[in-house]
A and B are shown apart, each in its own frame.
Chain A
Amino acid sequence: MLDACFRINSPSVIYERFGDEVVAIHLDTGVYHSLIGVASDAFVLLSEEATEAELASALAARYAATPQEIETALGPFLEQLRQENLVVPVEARKARGPLRIEGEGMGLPFVAPRLHAFNDLEGLLLLDPIHEVGDEGWPHASEPRTN
């Protein structure tokens, strides 16, 4: 488990960063999530695939805690992300350089990351009928219906 590597469960999960907060939406369930501070940084790092230890090391460059302290706090957080299907295990890792958190700031107070899930908007996915353009472009004429 310690060496397990995770990535954000895209394309089912989309997210946007707004300053200190990430809003993540699971398009299959309609549940939306708020991640603030350490949680937002950790989540964005997961877009590049990461193990718990790699996350802890990257976060220690910004927050006033040791990698060990951070790793301890990350365990329950990653489990929450897994339970909500926001992240999935990575089978075959891609090559990449060291993880780095974008933006300024060092020695920030470390607060154990938490995920806040909201499922109060039934049918949330209805808000997105105009899907982002894929390789085939958009829109395109629908196939004739055959009854």
Chain B
Amino acid sequence: MISVIIPAYNGAEFLDSALQSIDAQEFADREIVLVDDGSVEELRPPAQVRCIRQPHSGPSAARNRGVRESRGEFLAFLDIDDLWAPGHLSRLHAALTANSQAGIAQGRMRQLSGHLISEPYRMPYIGSCVFRREAFDLSGGFDESMMLGEDHDLMYRCWEKDILKVHVEEVSLIYRRHAGNSSRGNNLRSHAMVLKRRLDRIRAGELDPSQQRRYPFRDYIGETEGASQWATR
């Protein structure tokens, strides 16, 4: 089973389309856990979605709560304002079951901004991944002190722990840019914050930066050629 975890802090206007993109997945063995992270707006998910409400604690805490409350052997995360491409779950599930050593499967993503759409590329956006639960647990989960860059931080730690990630060429995630995106305009700050966390791990003796990792960093983290290529939809 794949547990689909949706952390939500408001964004009621996006919920229906996010759920429709989950319904359109050709993968029936799934559960959907919506973690309402203290939304001011009322979120009204349909009955088949399990809804957990908690005081506002941030996206990391909401995702970790969803993981704890879910039962699937595999974990997939979809932010309420994003969409999955058809076939995302089945492709990534197939990639993980074909390689028992793999802890993460990741597809490509595109960004949607008004009438523009980017070419496909790959970055550590969690919505483009499916995790084996034991790999997620090994990573330590999302850093609940981070309100920005938490997905990049998680992927860094997966790389540092030599968790095998397999890549699928097809597009998995449609990331919608809009006025309410929490990440917009904070890219550089979140980038620096991820490095700050890594420096903290080095100083704490949890990590030796001179030690060669099993997988090349560049390939593990992403390829961005398509990110700056935009076309009109």
B101 on the interface (CB 8 Å rule)? no
Q: B230 touching A120 by the CB < 8 A rule?
A: no
B57 on the interface (CB 8 Å rule)? no
Q: Which residues of A contact B (CB under 8 A)?
A: 14-16, 18, 21, 23, 25, 32, 34, 118, 120-124, 126-133, 139-142
Which of chain B's residues 28-56 have a Cβ closer than 8 Å to chain A? none
Q: Scan B203-222; emit 1 where CB is below 8 A from any A CB, else 0.
A: 00000011000001110011
A-B contact count (CB 8 A): 83
B118 on the interface (CB 8 Å rule)? yes
Interface on chain B toward A: helix, strand, loop, or mixed SS?
Answer: mixed
Residues from chain B with Cβ under 8 Å of A14 in the complex:
188, 191-192
Q: A142 touching B228 by the CB < 8 A rule?
A: yes
Q: Which of B191, B210, B216 contacts A120 (CB 8 A)?
A: B210
Given contacts A118-B209, A122-B217, A141-B116, contact A15 B192 (CB under 8 A): yes
Q: B188 touching A128 by the CB < 8 A rule?
A: yes
- Sorted nearest first, the 3 A-B pairs with minimum C-beta distance are A123-B218, A129-B227, A129-B224
Tell me the complex Cα distance, A134–B54, Å: 38
What residue in chain B is nearest A127 (Cβ atoms)?
Answer: B191
Given contacts A34-B199, A123-B218, contact A139 B113 (CB under 8 A): yes
B178 on the interface (CB 8 Å rule)? no
Q: Which residues of B contact A (CB under 8 A)?
A: 111, 113, 116, 118, 121, 123-124, 152, 177, 185, 187-189, 191-196, 199, 209-210, 216-218, 221-224, 227-232
B223 smallest CB distance to A (angstroms):
7
Q: B191 touching A128 by the CB < 8 A rule?
A: yes
Residues from chain A with Cβ under 8 Å of B113 in the complex:
139
Q: A122 touching B191 by the CB < 8 A rule?
A: no
Q: A139 touching B217 by the CB < 8 A rule?
A: no
Residues from chain A with Cβ under 8 Å of B196 in the complex:
16, 18, 21, 23
Q: With a 10 A CB-CB cut-off, give which of B152, B210, B217 has the most chain A CB atoms.
A: B217
Tell me the complex Cα distance, A62–B231, Å: 53
Residues from chain A with Cβ under 8 Å of B218 in the complex:
122-123, 126
Residues from chain A with Cβ under 8 Å of B195 in the complex:
23, 25, 32
19 A-B pairs with C-beta separation under 8 A: A14-B191, A18-B192, A18-B193, A21-B196, A23-B196, A118-B199, A123-B218, A123-B221, A126-B123, A126-B222, A126-B223, A127-B124, A128-B191, A129-B123, A129-B224, A130-B111, A139-B111, A139-B177, A140-B116
Residues from chain B with Cβ under 8 Å of A23 in the complex:
192-193, 195-196, 199
